[in-house]
Amino acid sequence: MIVQLFFQFFPIYIHLQIINLQLKVSFITENSFIGITGDQGINMIYLFELIEGIYQEIQHKSIQLMNNDQDYDEYFFPIIYNKQRNLIFVRHKSQIYLIKNINDGNFKIVDQLNCNTLDIYGTITDNGQYFVFWDIKINGYSIYELQIQ
């Protein structure tokens, strides 16, 4: 469901669009963003592209994630896009995914890490070289150096 609303502020027009609930979103380009719901039964990353002034879901570019119908996702670990290395970090339920934009808005999961807990919080350095996250299972931080070709 897409609902479009237009607001006029002198002399600027703002176009607000409401798309089915996405728990986390991140722009990948000026004209596209990805989103993830928190629902138990949904394990997908959805891609939206700006087409004729409206962001539309591009179904064939959705990314299937590991199936987990028991847990809800949480919003505390944002989607992180590192433009310099063309990498996207997504935490969904107990998994952390490393995703690469391979060409023209098509994405591929290049690695994933199962943390066996839903309490995971993390980030990467600005240059995308290091990834750090905290999880409740080890009650501490894990730091990884990324060596992606």
> For position 62, which CATH number holds?
2.130.10.10
Q: State the pTM of this model.
A: 0.81
pLDDT in tens, 79-125: 999 988 889 999 999 999 999 988 777 899 999 999 988 888 999 99
DSSP-derived secondary structure letter, 66 = P
pLDDT of residue 25: 87
Provide the number of structural domains found in the chain: 1
Going by pLDDT thresholds of 50, 70 and 90, the confidence category of residue 52 is confident
Supply the range of the domain harboring residue 138. Answer: 2-145
Cα-based torsion angle of the residue sequence 73, 113, 123, 42 in order, rounded to the nearest 10 degrees = -20
